[in-house]
Amino acid sequence: MIELRLDDPRWADVLRDETVERIARTVFDRLGLSGEIEGSLLGCDDAQISALNAEFREKASPTNVLSWPAEDLEPPDLPKPDPDGVIELGDIAMAYETCAREAAEQDKTLYDHSAHLVVHGLLHLLGYDHERDEDATLMEGLEKEILGKLGIKDPY
């Protein structure tokens, strides 16, 4: 499933293996993705995500979530398993300070905001984006639906 690595220990109260697995399973079930699925989620701080953002996006500033898809997908296409039957999704990183600040500014719990960003990151790994209005509408609709299934209110 999704391997969780917490480089910033403040995430330990928010991101737990069982929580991330439940969120991921809800995303995969909604999209009809099944089988052995692997990916990773890094819980880090603003300094670490700034370095990643600079390295991979040439933006030397913190951001809430970054994602690195293993495959370039175009929804509704789903990833195909490798010869061993494993579907490799890619990697996600989330920055604690930025997520905590955004949650406070938006009057959300850190858990709800983080769950939204995990869903958001997973959808990016599956080829969804928000560059064009129609793509953003599709992605946001999926996020709302999936978060509703998790008992989290509309983040928008």
Question: According to the model, what pLDDT value does residue 138 have?
Answer: 96
Please tell me whether residue 100 adopts helix, strand or coil conformation.
helix
Which residues of the chain are modeled with pLDDT < 70? none
User: Which of the four CATH numbers 3.40.390.30, 3.90.1580.10, 3.30.470.20, 3.40.50.10860 does domain 2-149 have?
Assistant: 3.40.390.30
Using one digit for the tens of pLDDT, what is the confidence trace for 39-62? 999 999 999 999 999 999 999 999
The amino acid occupying position 109 is T
pLDDT attached to residue 10: 98
Cα–Cα distance between 117 and 121 in angstroms, integer? 6
Going by C-beta distance under 8 Å and a sequence separation of 6 or more, which residues neighbour residue 98?
46, 49, 62, 63, 64
Could you list the beta-strand ranges (E) of the chain: 2-6, 36-44, 65-69, 86-95
Q: In the chain, what are the domain boundaries?
A: 2-149
Residue 126: what pLDDT?
98
| pTM listed for this prediction | 0.96
